[in-house]
Amino acid sequence: METRRALGVVLLIAFVLAYPFIDRALGLQTVHAVSDGMIYVLLALGLNIVVGYAGLLDLGYAAFFAIGAYAMGLLNSPVLGSPLYGHAWSFWLCIWIAAAVSAMLGTLIGAPTLRVRGDYLAIITLGFGEIIPVAIRNLGDVTIQIGGWRPIERLNLTGGENGVNPVGRPFLPGVPFETDPLPWYYLILVIGALSLWAMSRLQDSRLGRAWMAIREDETAADCTGVNPISTKLLAFALGASFSGFAGSVYAAKLQAITPGAFEFQVSIMLLCMVVLGGAGSLKGVILGAMLITIFDRVVLAETTFFTRWVGRSLGVPLLATADLTLWRWFFFGLGLVLVMLLRPQGLAGRRVRPVPAGEGDDAGELAPPPAPRVEALPAFLRERAARPGAAADPGLMLDVRGLAKQFGGVIALNGVDLVVPRGAIIGLIGPNGAGKTTFFNVVTGLVRPDGGAITFEGRSLVGLRPNAIVTRGIARTFQSIRLFANMTVVENVLVGEHCRLRATVPGAVIRPPAVRAEEARARERARALLDFVGLGGKDQELARNLPYGDQRRLEIARALATEPRLLLLDEPTAGMNPRETETLTGLIGLLRRELGLSVLLIEHDMQVVMTISDRITVLDYGTRIAEGTPEEIQRHPRVIEAYLGTGYEAEPAARGAPR
């Protein structure tokens, strides 16, 4: 199997390398078309970072293609009358400048727009995609007048509608770039292969995982320590830089560029390539881009030729004059509709695998999850716990004073005080809608408080973004499970480690020994954590395919991967059966006992809360109505009235069993 795969790869590489000669031998004359196809592959791969990995719908990606092409055009073949005239720079320098300029503009338009939600981002990119060609057209005749002073008069910067012509070609001694399509084929192949290599390494790194986490659930990613703003900006900038390469090579290959080549349709065609092949899959995007270009450049032209021949032979004038290339958008649209209907994940997209029968379900049913074992506790968590914390004050972990929050007219939190001592398990209970989850959201930075102070290990948390709070050492789980559904189990945990890893873009691509070691360590830790929570052996499953109880445990593993000193659990046992609940209760107790982890726990299962909490705070209508030990809370008349109900005492199983 392995050798067959390897053989296939070798054959494919040999075919790609030999293609121009095969083409010449067969007289196909498709080398130009295939080279252009590879440029589109490069563009589509760049767009795939933005759309496929980070999940940001970009409708104006051709703008970056234009910027790359014009950067090359203007530097390498200055337009007559432009201030750059007379300084044609080397192609080999210009491609880097083009990529850098594209990345810079990507960051520039990304920065203000990435805070907006998905649909709005798409509209803004659409606008950007329209602006750039218009700007290029109008920069052919620039006059700036301030009062009577004209510092710039009738400047031709971009060549306007006529574009830039001719653009200089690359120079390598002895290589005929001017006359032969062959060198172009190999040049683009080399650039494409290098880009592909860089991208596949990025995909499988700390940064690639962060992009996918953002795509899957931005809020959960933020609360797992991934900074959504910088992560999205990086995706935008990198995506733009690849199109900068593509644009500059395109300009030099065509030798002439006009603003018409970068219209809205090009953005849509690139998007089609990504979606057709399968967003997020490198193989798929290459396939999609190649298929569409070959179809457009070769198949449509040949079919037109053939149709006309048929028309002439049969004497049908309609066919004899038909031009199928005018129908290209019709065919693209039709193809896209068919793909969406028949294979919505794209031709080579990652398929959502159903759980194999007889596993998952059955195992969960017949054998209850294994009880957490002290020996299985990952060593790195122990080390982390043994290290002295940042706090000068050993007593208080979390100190919340007078926390207040209103939503519209509804008071969600009304001056709540709550203290979590180091190594304590504090229960937070109260009627539904009392403000418990809002309290979590404020502490973790998702919601800004209207008033009050939140101090963690002696430092204020107010105003920090969720990911910064995770880095400080607070992790949380969600009431309704929020995993990265289309990522594997182990990837989910690795995203948890994101904020403890350091690899940068060059590091992730080049992988020096330090980065390799870091990645290996991260995977080792993830495996250890999964074994610990009882998910060992399921690390390659997609998170969405896990049974419910496993998903809850995975969320806890992900939270632990951030190396927290305080863990906020929002109804961790909701929807679990008694066995699973018991196991989870044991796990929480063990974490506190062995690691000294502090836990703040929202839970409606009174057996759990009363058994493991040291103290309990009760909220009702955003106000703290009681605070005390479990025994005090169970007897508290207001708590019984508002929350526990009278039936509670008659429930034998609900009484906290002595430990």
Partner 1 sequence: MLALVDVHTYYGSIRALRGVSLTVEPREIVTLIGANGAGKTTTLRTILGAVRPRRGTVTFNGQRLDGLATDRIVRLGIAQSPEGRRIFPRMTVLENLEMGAFARADRAAIAPDLERVLTLFPRLRERIAQKGGTLSGGEQQMLAIARALMARPSLLLLDEPSMGLSPILVETIFKIVQDINRQGTTILLVEQNARMALRVAHRGYVIQTGRIVLQDAAAELLRSDLVRKTYLGEK
DSSP annotation string for 204-239: TSHHHHHHHHHHH-HHHHHTTT--HHHHHHHHHHHH
Our CB check for partner 1 shows the closer of 230 and 577 to be 577
Q: What is the C-alpha to C-alpha distance for residues 318 and 395, in angstroms, rounded to an integer? A: 88
Asked whether 486 and 216 are in contact (CB, 8 A), the reply is yes
Give me the least distance between CB of 588 and partner 1, in Å please: 17
Orientation angle between helical segments 489-497 and 548-561, nearest 10 degrees:
30
Give me the least distance between CB of 553 and partner 1, in Å please: 12
Give me the least distance between CB of 566 and partner 1, in Å please: 22
Measured between its terminal Cα atoms, the distance across the chain in Å is 54
Give me the least distance between CB of 292 and partner 1, in Å please: 30
Our CB check for partner 1 shows the closer of 283 and 604 to be 604
Give me the least distance between CB of 428 and partner 1, in Å please: 12
Cα angle: 40, vertex 44, 46; to 5 degrees: 120
Asked whether 520 and 501 are in contact (CB, 8 A), the reply is no
Our CB check for partner 1 shows the closer of 247 and 549 to be 549
Give me the least distance between CB of 647 and partner 1, in Å please: 5
288-298 core/surface letters (b: 16 or more CB in 10 A; e: else):
bbbbbbbbbbb
Orientation angle between helical segments 548-561 and 513-533, nearest 10 degrees:
140
Q: Which residues contact 122 (CB under 8 A, 6 or more apart)?
A: 57, 58, 59
Find the DSSP H helices in 261-378: 264-277, 282-294, 300-314, 317-320, 328-342, 361-366
Our CB check for partner 1 shows the closer of 174 and 354 to be 354
Asked whether 44 and 283 are in contact (CB, 8 A), the reply is no
How far is the CA of 81 from the CAs of 85, 153, 154, 647, in angstroms?
A: 7, 11, 9, 89
Asked whether 33 and 301 are in contact (CB, 8 A), the reply is no
The residue ranges that bind partner 1 (CB under 8 A) are 354-357, 360-362, 364-366, 407-408, 410, 429-438, 479-480, 547-549, 571, 574-582, 604, 606, 642-645, 647-648, 653-654
Give me the least distance between CB of 372 and partner 1, in Å please: 17
Q: Is 627 left (phi over 0), alpha (psi -120 to 50) or beta?
A: beta
Q: What is the C-alpha to C-alpha distance for residues 395 and 63, in angstroms, rounded to an integer? A: 56
27-63 core/surface letters (b: 16 or more CB in 10 A; e: else):
eeebbebbbbbbbbbbbbbbbbbbbbbbbbebbbbbb
Our CB check for partner 1 shows the closer of 117 and 387 to be 117
Give me the least distance between CB of 356 and partner 1, in Å please: 8
Give me the least distance between CB of 575 and partner 1, in Å please: 5
Our CB check for partner 1 shows the closer of 229 and 481 to be 481
Residue 77 identity: S
Give me the least distance between CB of 637 and partner 1, in Å please: 13
Our CB check for partner 1 shows the closer of 560 and 576 to be 576
Give me the least distance between CB of 418 and partner 1, in Å please: 18
Our CB check for partner 1 shows the closer of 154 and 353 to be 353
Among 425, 520, 437, 522, residue whose Cα is nearest residue 480: 437
Residue 458 identity: G
Question: Strand locations in 458-602, DSSP E?
Answer: 459-460, 474-476, 566-570, 598-602
Our CB check for partner 1 shows the closer of 36 and 541 to be 541
Q: What is the C-alpha to C-alpha distance for residues 361 and 368, in angstroms, rounded to an integer? A: 11
Our CB check for partner 1 shows the closer of 512 and 645 to be 645
Q: What is the C-alpha to C-alpha distance for residues 115 and 112, in angstroms, rounded to an integer? A: 7
Our CB check for partner 1 shows the closer of 161 and 651 to be 651
Among 175, 197, 201, residue whose Cα is nearest residue 92: 175
Give me the least distance between CB of 648 and partner 1, in Å please: 5
Our CB check for partner 1 shows the closer of 492 and 607 to be 607
Give me the least distance between CB of 470 and partner 1, in Å please: 22
Asked whether 385 and 368 are in contact (CB, 8 A), the reply is no
Q: What is the C-alpha to C-alpha distance for residues 434 and 215, in angstroms, rounded to an integer? A: 32
Our CB check for partner 1 shows the closer of 273 and 639 to be 639
Asked whether 416 and 438 are in contact (CB, 8 A), the reply is no
What is the three-class DSSP state of 518?
Answer: helix
Our CB check for partner 1 shows the closer of 476 and 498 to be 476
CA dihedral (602, 608, 609, 612) positive or negative: negative
Give me the least distance between CB of 360 and partner 1, in Å please: 7
Asked whether 333 and 272 are in contact (CB, 8 A), the reply is no
Our CB check for partner 1 shows the closer of 396 and 574 to be 574
Give me the least distance between CB of 370 and partner 1, in Å please: 16
